[in-house]
Chains A and B, each alone.
Chain A
């Protein structure tokens, strides 16, 4: 009887709804689907009953079952969405302590001296300079004689050196690479030379027997001190900040003429005057000048054809000034807590 069928479907529907209501997750929901709508589920029992109906009733019965199944599937679907929504709600309701310390990877770092060096070199590479390195063991010829500093010259005094044997010493500046490079290459030359230097200075807050310098050398027709000022301004803007200015003061280094001491705006106070600059608004940062004709000649260059300049700037000085380090020894202690801070 058709009415029996609808009763059966109604009853099945009621049980299904009950089961849906108590299905708390997708696994339970799947269980409900299998139990009612699966191949051997309850609906299949109902379908079988179609065979007992008269052929006239069968199409209507088939439609009623199909409609009921569609209805049940929709209810399952809707229950599934409901569960999804509830799960999402639960997920979104979760909160952790985001201030709990993160799990840090092993962190390495470059030494502040290398950072200063690389910042400086990067500027020069952008401007067409090659970066060359050189030996730390140097001959008196390259360290002094070729640079117009003959034996017993008083200028050697400020460059008091460590000797390995007579005639052989640890370079006191990066300047020997001027003549070494010029002897090996014809002009034009545009190089910077970062590296270690050694002077017989007792270690204290401001001096170290080992320190780093960056040497610059530009030799070509038409090069003058204005170009040096421009390049050094660029350098200091790169390593200290965009407002740096450069001031030249006359000075004497035997391998340049005219010679100039290089000051730059004190980055600590921007030129206002502070403890770092002793109130002057400027910090001394290096020596420079036009390459002495004797040095050009010694390098095999013709002073009538080319001019050039050279400078030397202390790398520790750059690192110390821009990172507020008041004692050079900090840089050589390599305390990992400090290196981490400075990286």
Chain B
């Protein structure tokens, strides 16, 4: 909210700089987003045009004799067309500093001009919001007075952030009260109309409430109004607050809202059919032509204020053309109402329309503000020459709320600092609360002022006191360390996974869970099944973020397409994936990916797979504390002949393998890519491996070159070796494979290294030979393997 310091000073004498004021507001909970610096202005006086004559030598110039209460009148030539004798205007003297210019003596077609009459732009005001030409001031202003000081045109404007609970502070007066409390000062409350003839019988009912969403409606008839421009002091305040001045009536309605937060609406009473209003739900088929010249269709969602014919206002949002204030208006009906915030908010969303009024109504205005708003408008209208009637009130009473009892101990209990009863009472009173200190001084009874609808419970009061006392007084302390029964396992697993992959050369990525349709399209185009129904966002911000990711793989593939080049590229991500329709659910998991440059290899070999498998097994081993078993598998997204499931204790833990080549094509990747995926839920608990003494005796290594049928997997060979090894196998590893012309057709050659060892004695050569013979027999029996002839 724009807060002109010039306006603030109507209620509070403040000599602080703009920055100091901003710091005060921030400490009170109203951060200042921006300080709009006003231009430096000087040497401008209030002057009266004593005489206006045509320039003898120039048709388009006028020569004015200007009284600025100086020793002699000034002669000023002007090209402005809106000047006339007797006008009171701002006059820049010689040497005056205006926006973008300094006034010096000037000859205008032979006449020495001793200054300049000022328009809005030269004074740093929005030119389109004021009269073309010279600004017109009121007759009663003191001639010769310093114009800039009189209207505080040099005071900056603060852009203050107001939290949603403080609708009262969406106003100059509300913020002045805050600043006053911080300074230990009091605001000058603006004057309001007091009905001098309270005995007068109330006229007929001016308003009837038919909806619970209007809790209170103060209606005030004001007769004898004349539409004309507002006085300059009001126009300049509105303009600095960012509101365009229109005419005295519209301006008063806006002024009261900016001043005290209560939005008002003025109806031209002569056009209110039936002479009374009703607040009701709109009827199906009704429509309204609002002041912004839009024809709006209404339905029962809308709360309207209607006369006996048709809606004249959408509650809290916008008025209608028929009862709009016009130059012909003589009699007003002032609305100061309290509507349901949520209802106004829903209407605002439905219409796509947000106004200064609705932004206040939707936060829920305190009832008491309606009384104040009507009385304040009545006062200003009376000052403008009109005659207000007594206010007519429909709806809830604005009686003060019940007192809130706060034990003095509450301050220490919630804030950790000691505040005694007197200090707390002082802070609250500074904010306009009434306070009674209980006998003994251990508790306060306090009633918030009528504008503070947000203070309801003890904690609210504690915050008010803390704000005034200053949050800086809260002292650091460390809480006791508590034993918690809540488990950190999920987090710890995530951390361990991240660490284990990073250790193995994988870089962690964080990609968006929100994805475009393009990703699932790629799967569809590739002919690769999606894991399940993709979850969409009902109200996406853009097509790029229309769906929730169904897998971590697509984003990693995109990264591979972008970054995998001549070197190995390793990346992983931990995150949730989403599926399900209609009931969406999420699965936390981890995906890791290895991309390698292409290499020429026979069809039956994929060394990249072996690298990836080795890394993946080491990763699982680090997590589980035991080795995973590898079995061939087929999963959508992976190459059916080059993927495997990793099992720990017979349970699926992860799937690894070469990415389906159709996906690689769809993602325009031309390197080899391997990927793994593990659901967090499948992660086996780490089990600390048991100790087994390492043998003290030397090992004997024997390499066997075998010829077997190509379909015999390496794992079977290893199993056969162990089976034949009679417990003497320390390790067995298939380490080479060959197919080709050097061996018989339709076979493959497998090299396997067998490490033999005894736990209790040194293995002799003869024993080793015996084991090898047994191993070869087992290999032959189980795998049909025989020794390759050298």
Given A133-B491, A261-B31, are A225 and B584 neighbors across the interface (CB < 8 Å)? no
Given A152-B341, A335-B563, are A108 and B505 neighbors across the interface (CB < 8 Å)? yes
* Residue A224 at the chain B interface, CB threshold 8 Å: yes
* Residue A73 at the chain B interface, CB threshold 8 Å: no
Q: Name the one of A114, A137, A185, A229 contacting B485, with C-beta atoms under 8 angstroms.
A: A185
Neighbouring A residues of B466 by C-beta, 8 Å:
250, 258
* Residue B459 at the chain A interface, CB threshold 8 Å: yes
Beta-carbon contact of B476 and A246 below 8 Å: yes
Closest Cβ of chain A: how far from B542's Cβ, in Å? 8
* Residue A3 at the chain B interface, CB threshold 8 Å: no
Q: Name the one of A133, A155, A196, A201 contacting B490, with C-beta atoms under 8 angstroms.
A: A133
Q: B395-425: contact bitstring with A at CB < 8 Å (1 yes, 0 no)? A: 0000000000000000011111100000000
Q: Name the one of A106, A125, A157, A254 contacting B488, with C-beta atoms under 8 angstroms.
A: A125
Beta-carbon contact of B415 and A339 below 8 Å: no
Beta-carbon contact of B491 and A252 below 8 Å: no
Q: B572-595: contact bitstring with A at CB < 8 Å (1 yes, 0 no)? A: 000110100010111010000000
Q: B685-696: contact bitstring with A at CB < 8 Å (1 yes, 0 no)? A: 000000000000
Apart from A225-B414, A227-B478, A290-B459, list 18 A-B contacts with CB within 8 A: A108-B503, A108-B505, A108-B570, A128-B484, A136-B586, A137-B586, A152-B345, A154-B362, A164-B548, A198-B514, A202-B541, A224-B412, A225-B416, A234-B478, A247-B471, A258-B459, A331-B510, A336-B569
Beta-carbon contact of B414 and A258 below 8 Å: yes
* Residue B512 at the chain A interface, CB threshold 8 Å: yes
Q: Name the one of B363, B512, B539 contacting A200, with C-beta atoms under 8 angstroms.
A: B539
Residues of A in contact with B, size category: 35 or more
Complex Cα distance A202/B540, Å? Answer: 10
* Residue B457 at the chain A interface, CB threshold 8 Å: yes
Beta-carbon contact of A132 and B505 below 8 Å: no
* Residue B467 at the chain A interface, CB threshold 8 Å: yes
Beta-carbon contact of A110 and B578 below 8 Å: no
Neighbouring B residues of A198 by C-beta, 8 Å:
513-514
Name the residue on A nearest B559 (C-beta).
Answer: A334
* Residue B603 at the chain A interface, CB threshold 8 Å: no
Neighbouring B residues of A185 by C-beta, 8 Å:
485-486
Beta-carbon contact of B163 and A181 below 8 Å: no
Neighbouring B residues of A162 by C-beta, 8 Å:
514, 537-541
Complex Cα distance A155/B163, Å? Answer: 9
One of B79-87, B195-203, B246-254, B494-502 contacting the partner: B494-502
Beta-carbon contact of B509 and A154 below 8 Å: no
Neighbouring B residues of A163 by C-beta, 8 Å:
537-539
Closest Cβ of chain B: how far from A135's Cβ, in Å? 6
* Residue A251 at the chain B interface, CB threshold 8 Å: yes
* Residue A314 at the chain B interface, CB threshold 8 Å: no
Closest Cβ of chain B: how far from A181's Cβ, in Å? 6
Complex Cα distance A220/B488, Å? Answer: 19
Neighbouring B residues of A223 by C-beta, 8 Å:
479
* Residue B545 at the chain A interface, CB threshold 8 Å: yes
Beta-carbon contact of B507 and A332 below 8 Å: no
One of B22-30, B327-335, B770-778 contacting the partner: B22-30
Neighbouring B residues of A257 by C-beta, 8 Å:
457, 459-460, 462-463
* Residue A292 at the chain B interface, CB threshold 8 Å: yes
Name the residue on A nearest B495 (C-beta).
Answer: A118
Beta-carbon contact of A226 and B363 below 8 Å: no
Which 4 A/B pairs are nearest by Cβ-Cβ distance?
A226-B416, A106-B505, A152-B342, A250-B29
Neighbouring B residues of A226 by C-beta, 8 Å:
415-417, 474-477
* Residue B571 at the chain A interface, CB threshold 8 Å: yes
* Residue A248 at the chain B interface, CB threshold 8 Å: yes
Q: Name the one of B346, B479, B487, B514 contacting A210, with C-beta atoms under 8 angstroms.
A: B514
Q: Name the one of A121, A181, A339 contacting B509, with C-beta atoms under 8 angstroms.
A: A339
Chain B residues with a Cβ closer than 8 Å to the other chain, count: 91
Name the residue on A nearest B501 (C-beta).
Answer: A108
Interface on B for A, CB 8 Å cutoff?
Answer: 26-29, 31, 163-166, 341-343, 345-346, 362-363, 412-417, 457, 459-460, 462-463, 466-467, 471-472, 474-488, 490-492, 494-495, 498-499, 501-514, 535-542, 545, 548, 559, 563, 568-571, 575-576, 578, 582, 584-586, 588
Complex Cα distance A336/B588, Å? Answer: 24
Closest Cβ of chain B: how far from A277's Cβ, in Å? 13
Q: From residue 207 to 251 of chain A, which have CB atoms closer than 8 A to chain B?
A: 209-210, 218, 220, 222-227, 229-231, 233-234, 246-251
Neighbouring A residues of B509 by C-beta, 8 Å:
111, 334, 339
Q: From residue 111 to 137 of chain A, which have CB atoms closer than 8 A to chain B?
A: 111, 113-114, 118, 121, 125, 127-133, 135-137
Closest Cβ of chain A: how far from B285's Cβ, in Å? 26
Complex Cα distance A168/B417, Å? Answer: 41
Given A109-B508, A114-B498, are A230 and B166 neighbors across the interface (CB < 8 Å)? no
Beta-carbon contact of B414 and A249 below 8 Å: no
Beta-carbon contact of B486 and A136 below 8 Å: no
Beta-carbon contact of A340 and B507 below 8 Å: yes
Beta-carbon contact of A107 and B505 below 8 Å: yes
One of A10-18, A77-85, A186-194 contacting the partner: A186-194
Complex Cα distance A280/B576, Å? Answer: 38
Beta-carbon contact of A220 and B503 below 8 Å: no
